[in-house]
Structure 1
Amino acid sequence: MARTSPDTVPYRPKAGEIPTQPGVYRFRDATGRVLYVGKAQNLRARLSNYFAPLRSLHERTRRMVTTAASVEWTVVGSDVEALQLEYTWIKEFDPPFNVKFRDDKTYPFMAITLADEAPRVIVTRNTRIPGARYFGPYPKIWAVRETIELMVKAFPIRTCSDSSYKKAMQSGRPCFPGQIGRCGGPCSHKVTVEEHRAIVDDFVAFMAGGDNRFVTEVTRKMKEAAAEQRYEAAATYRDQLQALEAVLEKSAVVLSDNLDTDLFGVEHDELAAAVQQFIVRGGRIRGVRAWVVDKELDLTTAELVDSILQAAYDGTTVPPREIIVPELPEDKAELETWLGTRRDKGKVSLRTAQRGEKAALMQTARVNAMNALQLYKTRRSADFVARSQAMTDIQDALGMPDAPLRMECFDVSHLGGTNIVASMVVFEDGLPRKDQYRRFTIAESTDDTDSIHQVVTRRLAYLREGTERSESDSASKKFSYPPNLLVVDGGQPQVQAAARALRESGVEGIFLCGLAKRLEEIWLPDSDFPVILPRGSEALFMLQRLRDEAHRFAIIHQRTRRKRDIASVLGEIPGLGPSRVKRLLTHFGSVSQLRQAKPDAIAAVRGVGPGLAQTVFAHLHPDSAAPVAEPRR
């Protein structure tokens, strides 16, 4: 077994055991269940990221790594093979830590059954009809029916059922839809099978690209018939022309160069992401699709794009030649090759939009995704029944006598032990009360548990009897309302620190718990085992949202203080203007990192020469003699 430090996991393989070839890896738990599937161009380089010190990992990555009991890998011949194997295993094992796609609805499609002797057009939600060509998805089923009604006027193809078609062909009598002019298939006995197939091909060609050549051709035929005084034929062509123009009018032109492209707008936070797909054919939006994505691991936008495209083109949908995404994934070339295998001919190109019509359309998709994400969270939080159930479940799980109508959550944030701040957020009736959020600045602290103890003590001071308060002290009035439940971000050590502050305060009647990030466990004071709420439950969602809101609020306060701190410290140095302060901040990240830098490292920053570097070093180290910076060559 590989030798491991206390700050890593016991199943960590030796670096030399992991190959450097491309491949796919799987993390499993103690029962053998696959928790996560990933691919890598270099397995050793990628897996080493998971076995970094646990404290340096993102909280969700850390939870996955610590939940797992083993890791295994499979070497493949190329990056494209790795992509294909990853896709196959995700479908097979449904790993809980991979991205979860939840389509917010089942969309209706227009389908043409090309595998039939006489293809027909139907409305369907089944995307697995053999040999069918799909168009859409459409937002509403009436939109599909309306489009089909117009299209059949221009391209009269079969609409009757298979049983009606079979009966009509055997009996020699037209099917009923054919008798009333609503079916143009061979079963209407107006066209042959071959002639009908040609009309179907035109139907598909028009829907695939909105081809204006059909409009031009029908217009020409209408004028010729009118000139030859074939008025009935001219009227028929006129009706076809009106139908074609009506279909085109229903989809606005968004790209003037008549391109076929799919465009994906993505908006995400730590917990979830929303995806908006615009399906553009012939420069017009022909379909819109939206997903809500659960994020179990901390993924970048580029990593999300990789998973989104694999789900969007899972074998039932043919990708266009061009796909526009917000960010290009690392395996762009391999993904293009993989997507190309899902087309009959032609390559697939992944691109980003920097300017012009495509960039404007991407911004529209992103705004739609942003609104969808906000709506998803708002609906789940604003659902009175769900909130009531969540508070009831929390009450039962923690053994509280009453439902937690007022919950306060505390989180601590710092940067390497400096700029320590804390936040308090308030939920009443399951909804945030942002007017009662509070920020705390902690001057000195030994660790997070000490910080939690200080902050909870300061908050509870407003609840002690006999505390004098000014009548005009609005903060005191808001603080004086006692919570039913105090939640701290952390596990048993943080809960113990908060419990000690609660005992010392003498305040009674307040329940306390901690929500640990590692496994989303709920810890109670003096409890040897955590309370585990079902994943996906409304109670856990509410506690997660409360904890994440406290984390977000603390981070904002910490960043604000850090920027102010950096600006105040560096702004006092002669010769260091705002632009140079910004460059130093970008290069070193913080004043604490800058204090550790030598003058020659400071001088290496653009616009900061050896002389100014000596000044900066001397200002940050007033009690020590500055070493002489070596001149740059």
Structure 2
Amino acid sequence: MADPATYRPAPGSIPVEPGVYRFRDEHGRVIYVGKATSLRSRLGSYFQDIAGLHPRTQRMVRTAAGVEWTVVRNEVEALQLEYAWIKEFDPRFNVKYRDDKSYPYLAVTMGEEFPRAQVMRGRKRKGTRYFGPYTHAWAIRETLDLLLRVFPVRTCSSGVFKRAGQVGRPCLLGYIDKCSAPCVGTVSAGEHREIAQELCDFMAGDTGRFVRRLERRMAEASAELDFERAARLRDDIGALTKALERSAVVLPDGTDADVFALADDELEVAIQVFHVRGGRIRGQRGWVAEKETEELPGIVEHLLQQVYGGEGGEDVPREVLVPVAPEDDQGVAAWLGERRGSQVSLRVPQRGDKRALMETVERNATQALARHKVARAGDLTARSQALQELQEALDLDEAPLRVECYDISHVQGTDVVGSMVVFEDGLVRKSEYRRFIVRGDVDGRRDDTAAMREVLQRRFARVQPREGDQHVVPPEPGTDEPDPDTAGTPAGIDPETGRPRRFAYPPNLVVVDGGRPQVDAAQAVLDEMGIEGVALVGLAKRLEEVWLPGDDHPVILPRTSEGLYLLQRVRDEAHRFAITFHRQRRSRSMTASALDGVPGLGESRRKALLSRFGSVKKVRAASPEQLTEVPGIGPALAQRIAAELGSQQTAPAVNLTTGEVLDEGEQP
């Protein structure tokens, strides 16, 4: 742990203008990003009495080895740059106040000739109307199933739609009147678009018009003694009413708003948000995160930044209601306005229906925090205890905040792959996971250590040497040439940006799946590459023994040890990750096509060939001139395809008695 005084900027060197700052560790990795209205005031607070800082902030400033900053013109630019840097560097000490789920929306693809209603997640697409978000996809499907009685819009995929048009028969939904069947011409494209537009209008809040229209038609049918049609219209009204009951009216003025509420304690904060569209609650979400700061205004500012920032952010409504105003409420409101494209009202409700709704959301947040603390009581303590136990049992200088575990998977030496999983602060870091295709010739039945050696060489080839160290980039396995990604450049430094590569820093602890042979092989790799300061252990499955390099006897941790439990989780996660990748590779190799081995023939061109000719057999029978008729296939590639497929022809039939080659069509 570093002393913050060793990298404290000189007095007067920090500007007073607004800007964004970054703390880096000893390996050059960005570990925290923040913004400030006045850089001098904010950065100065980190170098005062450390005992007065939040525990998480204390650990950050002790882990850091330097700080740098960028001056911007105003607070809105600071918000944008801070979010961009957080997305780029993914700093470990920046708390994520937004869950990592992609919530579903009801989407109507109005940009298509025949609009389709479906469940969509992720990035928004141009020409598509979105309604939500919803907490669960099944909630959208249940609501849509009710609405299809009144708005029979298409819900099938493009393939099903095309096939129905080819055979001239609609799918089941067309027969039960839950689709207007535009695929077979039951309605025209214009009529179907009108139905889709009415569905969008209903979901947007214009509900009364459709209910009144159905009631009027039901009365007319009843007056004409057409009781069968009147009964169907009655059921349609019931379906609309039931769909409306799923989203109660909470704001009578048809407001579009997101209502946020927080409940916190010393270590964690529970977040709840109600999405209100057209005065009705369309969705409810909640999650729990660790606290980055004691001040709720700072938490609210980062929460809004993460919820509405980036391409994957939520749509910004006209109003955003929060329990407390952010630190820079005007700057945040201006930034939200830029995201929406029009003015956004960011405020704390004081009275009336909106205040009552805020209190309801706050009660949900309080209950969520209580449930979380009961379900995960002692979780933070257990993680800290596990890291402390490993530090003591393995005689480490500091707790292993970053742990990497490696495993090898194969079947009798075929499709050999390796996996690397990462745990930071006792939690999984899936964005840091890596998979390796073992390139060397490995007989898996006898020598898993050779595969482990190759995986470790390739991972630690990117480690940035400390200042003054001599570090040589090893050659790629099976060649005499260095890795082209690192040749001619100091190890771990990106030649284009000058920044440390993603894995330019070593872990605190390396775990390998196995006993003493695997540990000794891994230690030999680290010694050959000059990697120092990295602890290494192996975890043997049979008795869960912990092996250290050079020791004749393992370290036995108690079965109730939190440290042993953490090692088991890391080992099991590496094993799962390796097996999953191996199964994917094995599945692809079992279903490989003869076209897969043709150099220069990618997936798109293979699909174009098979679409044009129908099968590999017909591609093999085609001449190079016919092959060039396929878009993307030039004369040179056509000759190569013909040569490769020609070399894969089956051997001629042979008379088993005389050994003579039989003529074509003659039976052996």
Same fold? TM cut 0.5: yes
Q: Distance in 1 between matches of 2:165 and 2:71?
A: 56
> Which residue does 1:309 correspond to in 2?
304
CA displacement at 1:540 relative to structure 2: 12
Q: Distance in 1 between matches of 2:123 and 2:563?
A: 35
CA displacement at 1:541 relative to structure 2: 12
TM-score after normalising by structure 2: 0.54
> Which residue does 2:273 correspond to in 1?
277
> Which residue does 2:260 correspond to in 1?
264
SS of corresponding position for 1:347: coil
- Per-residue CA distance 1:503-553 (angstroms, 9 max, x = gap): xxxxxxxxxxxxxxxxxxxxxxxxxxxxxxxxxx966999xxxxxxxxxxx
CA displacement at 1:182 relative to structure 2: 2.8
Q: Distance in 2 between matches of 1:250 and 1:305?
A: 29
- 1:279–1:285 Cα contact (<8 Å) kept: yes
- 2:273–2:286 Cα contact (<8 Å) kept: yes
SS of corresponding position for 1:157: coil
> Which residue does 2:13 correspond to in 1?
17
- 2:98–2:303 Cα contact (<8 Å) kept: no
CA displacement at 1:278 relative to structure 2: 0.6
Q: Measured at CA, do residues 126 and 120 of structure 1 come closer, stay the same or move farther in structure 2, by a change above 3 Å?
A: same
> Which is worse superposed, 97-106 or 40-49?
97-106
Work out whether 1:254 is the aligned partner of 2:244: no
Partner residue of 1:59 out of 55, 78, 83: 55
Q: Measured at CA, do residues 15 and 218 of structure 1 come closer, stay the same or move farther in structure 2, by a change above 3 Å?
A: farther
SS of corresponding position for 2:284: strand
Q: Distance in 1 between matches of 2:98 and 2:82?
A: 19
Equivalent residue letter for 1:69: A
Work out whether 1:100 is the aligned partner of 2:96: yes
Work out whether 1:340 is the aligned partner of 2:337: yes
Q: Distance in 1 between matches of 2:381 and 2:65?
A: 36
> Which residue does 1:111 correspond to in 2?
107
Structure showing the higher helix proportion among its residues: 1
Q: Measured at CA, do residues 221 and 346 of structure 1 come closer, stay the same or move farther in structure 2, by a change above 3 Å?
A: farther
Partner residue of 2:373 out of 364, 370, 377: 377
CA displacement at 1:397 relative to structure 2: 5.5
- Per-residue CA distance 1:52-86 (angstroms, 9 max, x = gap): 23233333222212221111111223221111111
Work out whether 1:86 is the aligned partner of 2:86: no
Work out whether 1:239 is the aligned partner of 2:235: yes
> Which residue does 1:595 correspond to in 2?
none
Equivalent residue letter for 2:235: D
Q: Distance in 2 between matches of 1:210 and 1:30?
A: 59
- 5+ long unaligned stretches in structure 2: 395-560, 567-668
> Which is worse superposed, 309-318 or 89-98?
309-318
Q: Distance in 1 between matches of 2:331 and 2:149?
A: 43
Q: Measured at CA, do residues 198 and 20 of structure 1 come closer, stay the same or move farther in structure 2, by a change above 3 Å?
A: farther
> Which residue does 1:472 correspond to in 2?
none
Equivalent residue letter for 1:112: V
Cα RMSD for the two superposed structures: 3.4
SS of corresponding position for 2:275: strand
> Which residue does 2:150 correspond to in 1?
154
Work out whether 1:321 is the aligned partner of 2:318: yes
Equivalent residue letter for 2:32: Y
Equivalent residue letter for 1:213: R
Partner residue of 1:46 out of 26, 29, 42: 42
CA displacement at 1:300 relative to structure 2: 1.5
CA displacement at 1:390 relative to structure 2: 9.1
- 5+ long unaligned stretches in structure 1: 1-5, 401-536, 543-633
> Which residue does 2:355 correspond to in 1?
359
- 2:152–2:177 Cα contact (<8 Å) kept: no
Q: Measured at CA, do residues 340 and 215 of structure 1 come closer, stay the same or move farther in structure 2, by a change above 3 Å?
A: farther
Q: Measured at CA, do residues 299 and 395 of structure 1 come closer, stay the same or move farther in structure 2, by a change above 3 Å?
A: closer
Q: Distance in 2 between matches of 1:540 and 1:34?
A: 30
Work out whether 1:26 is the aligned partner of 2:26: no
Q: Measured at CA, do residues 13 and 394 of structure 1 come closer, stay the same or move farther in structure 2, by a change above 3 Å?
A: closer
1:194-593 correspondence runs (5 A): 194-209=190-205, 211-227=207-223, 231=227, 233-295=229-291, 297-314=292-309, 315-316=311-312, 317-343=314-340, 346-381=342-377, 398=392
Partner residue of 1:69 out of 65, 82, 97: 65
CA displacement at 1:136 relative to structure 2: 3.3
> Which is worse superposed, 154-163 or 206-215?
206-215
Q: Distance in 2 between matches of 1:40 and 1:382?
A: 34
CA displacement at 1:325 relative to structure 2: 0.6
> Which residue does 1:477 correspond to in 2?
none
CA displacement at 1:205 relative to structure 2: 2.3
- 2:98–2:307 Cα contact (<8 Å) kept: no
Q: Distance in 2 between matches of 1:346 and 1:392?
A: 50
- 1:120–1:160 Cα contact (<8 Å) kept: yes
CA displacement at 1:398 relative to structure 2: 4.4
Q: Distance in 2 between matches of 1:55 and 1:145?
A: 53
- Per-residue CA distance 1:446-482 (angstroms, 9 max, x = gap): xxxxxxxxxxxxxxxxxxxxxxxxxxxxxxxxxxxxx
SS of corresponding position for 1:118: coil
- Per-residue CA distance 1:16-58 (angstroms, 9 max, x = gap): 3222222211111111111111112222222222222323333
CA displacement at 1:270 relative to structure 2: 2.7
* Aligned residue pair count: 398
Q: Sequence identity, in percent?
A: 51
SS of corresponding position for 1:291: strand
Q: Measured at CA, do residues 52 and 138 of structure 1 come closer, stay the same or move farther in structure 2, by a change above 3 Å?
A: same
SS of corresponding position for 1:247: helix
Q: Distance in 1 between matches of 2:223 and 2:135?
A: 42
Q: Distance in 2 between matches of 1:97 and 1:117?
A: 48
Q: Measured at CA, do residues 197 and 338 of structure 1 come closer, stay the same or move farther in structure 2, by a change above 3 Å?
A: farther
Equivalent residue letter for 2:271: V
- 1:390–1:538 Cα contact (<8 Å) kept: no
Equivalent residue letter for 1:334: G
Equivalent residue letter for 1:304: I
